Every structure is written in C-alpha cells, then in structure tokens.
Structure 1
Amino acid sequence: MEQVVTLNETQKILTLGWIINGLSGYGDRLDPLRREEMELLLTERIDQRLNDSIVQKYIGKWERVWGPFVYLAPPPFNRFATNAIYVARQGNQYVIGIAGTNFKSIHNWFIEDFYVGAQAEWAEYADTKPPGLPPKISLGTKIGLDNLLKEHPGTKTNIIDFFKEQLKEADEEADEKVDKVEIVVTGHSLGGALSPVLALALHEKKSTWDPNSRAKLKVFPFAGPTPGNLAFAIYYDLRLGINTTRVWNNLDIVPHAWNQEMLKKIPTLYEPEIPSNPLIEWYVNIGKFLSLLGTYTNVKALTPALEGEFRPPVPAETSQTSSKQVELNVQLSESLKSALTANEELSVSDEVKEGFNKFMAQALEQHIAAYFDLLDFPTELKEFLLTPLSASADPEATESLITKLLEYSANPDVAH
C-alpha cells in the first residue's frame, strides 16, 4: 500500500460518510430487490471503496465493522433503499455513515425530506423531559431516526447494542494508557439532517451503552436541512454543539430549508447568472407554508458557510461531475417539460421552464460536487468518490418523481 497522504479531519470524515451512498438511484421499479439483496450489494460496494488503493492512499485502512443496514419503506415505497447506515473503524475511532437522499425514493422525498408540517417532541428520546419549551423535530426526521435505531434483522442488534458491546470489550481490555474511543456520526444531505439527531439520541442513552464514559461523540453533518425547531437547536447545541462541525455551502439550497429567513434567499441564490424564477418561487412558497409554524433552526446555526462560487455549465464529456448527475439533469429537464405540458393548471412558459432547469442543474452541482472542491479534495480522490457505482439514472423513475412533485405542489395536503 502506498504511503498515506494525510487529509484533514473534515475531508476524511466526508470520504467515509460518502461511501454509504452506494445504493442511491439503484433498483428496479418492477422487480425490486429484497432488503437482504440490497444489503449484500451495498456491503460489496462499501468494502470495494474502503479497500481501494486511492481511498487507502488518503485515509489509510478502515474496516467495516457493523452494517450496512438498509431500511425499505412499506409497499409501494419499497422499490428503492430508503435509509442506510454502516460503521467503519480504524483503531479507537469509529465513523457512523448515514446515507443521504436516494433521488429515486419517493419515500425519501415526500416523507423524510418534505414532511415538515408536523413535528414530534424530542422527549421521546431523552431520559428526562427537557426543560422549557419542548424541543421538536420534524415528523419526517423522526421517521428517519426511528429507521436508523431499528434492530438489524441479520445481526439482531441496533446501533446502540453494537456500541454497548464494543465499549464492553474496551472496558475489559482497558488500562490507564488506553485512549478513549471516539465515535463520529456523519452524513450528507438527508444524512446531514439525520446525523445530529442520531448523535443526540446516542448521547441521551449514553449511560446504557457507555457506563464508564469511555466514548466521545463527534458530529459532522454535511449539506443538511434543519432537523427541528429553535428549542431543539438550542437543546442540541448545549449538549453536542462543541463537538459538532457543521459544513454547508452558502449556494446550496438544501441547508436553506426549512428556516423561514433562509428559504427566502433561495430564488436569488444564483443571480445574476440565473435570475429569480416564478417556478422556483412557487416551490419556495410551498416550503415556507409547510414549515411556517415550525420555528425551524439548524443546529450550530451561526456556523460560517463555505463560500461557494457559481459553477458554469460544463459539457458532459469534460465535466468532473458524476455522470449519474449529468444524466439526471437532462432527464429533469425533459420530464419537467412533459409534466408541465400535461398539466394545464401548472403550465408555464418555455422560458420559465428553461430557467427552472438551469436553476436545478446549478443546485445539484452546489449540493454535491461543490463540497469536494470547496474542501480542497485531491482531484483523484474526488473523481473516484463521485464516480457512480450504481446503474445510471432511470428516466421513467425520474419522470415519476417530478410528476409527483408537481402534483404535490398543486395540492400539498394530499400524500401521493
């Protein structure tokens, strides 16, 4: 193995967290894989990445020690992976990687990402009822968190059971010279919303799995939307804020959701290159309506953003962006035109459609590839991580998603 080229901690954690996204976009709408088959496939892909010489050159040798656990939503949403989680280990450091939004999963988009109109009290996960105004998380975030805390059918353990056993072994081998165990929770996009709440759930139950306080929890949420209300953000920051490194790009629309003031900035994020667009404003207004009473505030809300730059369109054959994302941009454009043309109520001009397509293509760049550039990733590692392992995007699935998004926009009170 080549000598390790040292990355900074943020680069290393994003690398380990990104690897869990190996099932994004993978699946068959008509003949879906069983959970066990998805887990086997994701296991192979994680191990392939961890054992690759390019990855080991930059982060050294890491071992997958738990998972991956893949959660499939109930039918008819079980065609694609909904949530996924795994644990990697190197020495006394563990990294919990949580998958981001699966762009083909209707359940991810409409339940875990967009279900912000209702909230659940955090008290369910706390040992004692939090004082003051009740901390709350969106119902979509709660559903995702509950999935991650479920028992793994194969190992008959959940994430808490796993660390309870790991810490028990560490205690049995411990002497005064043994370093503390470090557990890092991370994820990108949806994983950026779920990683703080999973870390806080582990913190709340720490006495049950780490009675000797051997473990230190750290959190690296990347590109995440707000998981809960202002009271939750304050509650979280008082407990884990000092150990949390929140990473977000000021030109990424996802971290702008679901705070009211942040949502207002979305339509003009890419001006003057891409002017404000009525269709984008329409979607943002729906988002503002859905989250209006939630007082949504991100954890570590005052964290300075990475200063993003507008990314000019690059021809697909020369772009360093994932080929899957390039293809998705094209499909987004075509399916949007098709869906809008078929719906007279939602019909808009070709100019507005084109502006929407340009906006979404830029948003996709800012949400994914931009982070690797803003964090100064080595080129070969960035290209390796952004090269998709899964099959290319399915036009039918993408069109279905966009159509449902448009239907939902016309009637947000109806779940499709």
Structure 2
Amino acid sequence: MGTDAERVQLCLSLAAYAGLSGEPARRAGALHRSIAAQLAKIPATREHEIVWGPASFRVWWQPSSPSLVVFVTRPIQAGEDDCYVVIRAGAPVPVWDQNLESFGCLAQEPWVWTRRAGNLAPAVCGGVHRRLDVIRELTPEEQLPGAGRSLAELLAGCVGELEGDRKLPVHVCGHGVGGAMATAVALWLHDTQGPVTARDIEWDPRHHAKLHCMAFAGPTAGNADFATYISERLGPELELIHNSLDYAPLLWDTQTMAGIAGLYRSHVEEISVVEAVVEALGNQLERHGVEYEQPPARILPGQLNVELPPTFIAQAEYQHLHAYPELLGLGAQIDIDAILDRCSGTDDGPVAQ
C-alpha cells in the first residue's frame, strides 16, 4: 500500500498520458482540456488545478511521435501552497515510443550545474540532457495558464508571493521516461537555487522553495557518479518507486539489464528474442564506453498477471503501467485505459498481445 502523497503523484504522472492522439496531440488547448478532464475524474487529483501549461514539444521530423509534455498543478484548497511539476516524456511504454531520443542512452553529457561534487563527475544520458534543455525553455501557448512564462519564471513568481519565512513545497513527478526526466528537472531546480550564472534565471535566490522528487518506473538518468550526486544533493527528498517486475527501471545498467529477459520466465513461453535484444543493447552500451547506475529506490513487490497471454510484451506493459496503481492501493480509482483512450482488449492493449 502507498501513502496519500504517493497516490496523488502517481495519478498526476499517469494523467499526463492523456491526449496522446487525435486533436489533443495537435492542439495545446485540446491537450489542456484532455488532461484537466482526467484530473477531475480521479479522486486523488480532483482538487488539482492546472496553473501552468501544458507546454509540449515534438521534433519536427517526427510528427507522429508522442510529445514531451510538462504542466504544473496546485490544490485549490485554501492554505495549500504546494506546486506539482508533472512530466510526460513520450509514450507510456518505451516500446511504443518511436522517438529517436530513446536511443540517447548511447552517449552521455556532463551535468553542467554541478555544485560541491568533490571528486564526482556526474553525467546524464544524452536524451535526458536534450530533453532538459527543451524543458528549461518551454512556455505554454497563448490562452493557456502561464502563457509566455518558462517553468523557472512561474516558480519564481510563486516564491515571490510568499510572506515571511514561508516555504514553497515543489514536487516534481513523472512515470517511466517521465520519471527519469523528473529526477533531472528536480536536480536542475535544486542546483539553480540561490545565486546563479547567466545560464539560468534566479528563480529562488533566498532558498524559499522546498524541492521534492517522486519518480515512478523510470530508467536511470545517468552514470554512477550521477546516482551518488543526486542522492547526496536531494537526500530524502528523492523518492524513486519501482515495481520489482517492471523492466524499465533495469535500463540502462548493463548488469541489471541482464535480468530483464527472465523477469516473467515462469509465465512467458518464448524469451529468446528478448534475450537477443537485451544482449545487443548491452553490447552497444559497452562499445560506446558508457555506464549507468540507478540511485536507491523503494521496490514494490510485483506479482505476475497470469490472466494475460504468455507473451513478454503483454506482461511488460501490465507491470510498467497497470501494476503501479494496484500496488499503491488505488484499486479502481484510476482507469489507465480511459486515459490512453483505448481498451486493453483491443489490438493496442496487452490482452490482445
């Protein structure tokens, strides 16, 4: 069972997948309405209002790929200052995502905002680095909440409204690759608190924001030094939550990837293709000389869904998406298939696979 905070932020992270196709995928106003409608349907997020965004980005040469989407919500109850920064970094299951950025794992970039790193040399996945650069510059379109302001400018305004020594709780959350991006965004915000260079605005010069990151089902964003650095910088305010049977958190560490093919061995009939793909990817990572390590995470005890067809992709989708609400005690409070606008029994869902 999960805490109230875990359930709220999981629901926000999953609701971010609304509007993957159709008009919401093409028009910002329709995307806003789609996400807001899903938030209103879920008991845990019913009292949340979108106060910035959604702001989205898709590379021009991949018009059909899922968008990178960021939005900010705040509870409408009086007396609650909390801001929730929610990140969707593409498709809900990485195997659906045809975005070339998914292969950015073969290169790494130094973490340029490093502070007090000592002998550490933190570096992040090239795809994470490029997505973070996009997020830093994103602004919502006209007629959307926060139009024309960047995320840092929005948070600077929220901090500026505080009276006295009050703190602004800022929660950064996401699922899947969005979870990996949530860790990067939270660390960027943490490392740019206080006086900064011209590279970023002084969004919180007096350190009046209290940052927290909760990421679900995310692959690691960087190397071993990055895992150590983010753990030291965010400390207990970094919460990674993984299902023990979810393959995504095992990416891109070559040692943990070796266990992916055997995750569902007692139920899946044929895993030779999965073994071949994992081995090929591991070989590519080693050939490019990059290494990854996952920071410490809370591991939820997953269970196989034996009612699904005995295929790896069916079980993988279930464990990466549907299992998390069940493991955190949400029950029927959130309908993932409704958010994705499809039925699990169709050709697009795990039952048909």
TM-score by length of 2: 0.85
1:149/1:297 CA distance change after superposition, 3 Å: same
Identity %: 25
Aligned counterpart in structure 2 of residue 86 of structure 1, from 68, 71, 92 = 71
Report the count of equivalent residues: 329
1:240 equivalent in alignment to 2:234: yes
Aligned counterpart in structure 2 of residue 10 of structure 1, from 2, 6, 24 = 6
Cα shift at 1:98: 0.5
Cα shift at 1:195: 0.3
Higher fraction of strand: 2
Q: Report the counterpart of residue 363 of structure 1 in structure 2.
A: 316
Distance (whole Å) between structure 1 residues aligned to residue 24 and residue 50 of structure 2: 22
Q: Deviations over 1:172-223 (max 9, x none)?
A: xx135xx421110000011011000010111111121112221111001100
Structure 2 counterparts to residues 8-407 of structure 1, below 5 A: 8-24=4-20, 26-27=21-22, 37-52=26-41, 55=42, 57-75=43-61, 77-90=62-75, 91-102=80-91, 108-123=97-112, 125-126=113-114, 128=115, 130-152=117-139, 154=141, 155-170=147-162, 174-175=163-164, 179-207=166-194, 208-275=202-269, 277-292=271-286, 293-300=289-296, 303-314=297-308, 358-379=311-332, 381-383=333-335, 385-388=336-339, 390=341
Give the 3-state SS of the residue equivalent to 1:246 in structure 2. strand
Q: Supply the AA of the counterpart residue of 2:56.
A: V
Larger Rg: 1
Distance (whole Å) between structure 1 residues aligned to residue 92 and residue 6 of structure 2: 25
Mapped contact 1:72–1:82 kept (Cα < 8 A) = yes
1:238/1:261 CA distance change after superposition, 3 Å: same
Cα shift at 1:79: 2.7
TM-score by length of 1: 0.72
RMSD: 2.8
1:34/1:306 CA distance change after superposition, 3 Å: closer
Distance (whole Å) between structure 2 residues aligned to residue 294 and residue 191 of structure 1: 21
Higher fraction of helix: 1
Give the 3-state SS of the residue equivalent to 1:248 in structure 2. strand
Gaps of 5+ in 1: 1-5, 28-32, 316-354, 399-416
1:243/1:151 CA distance change after superposition, 3 Å: same
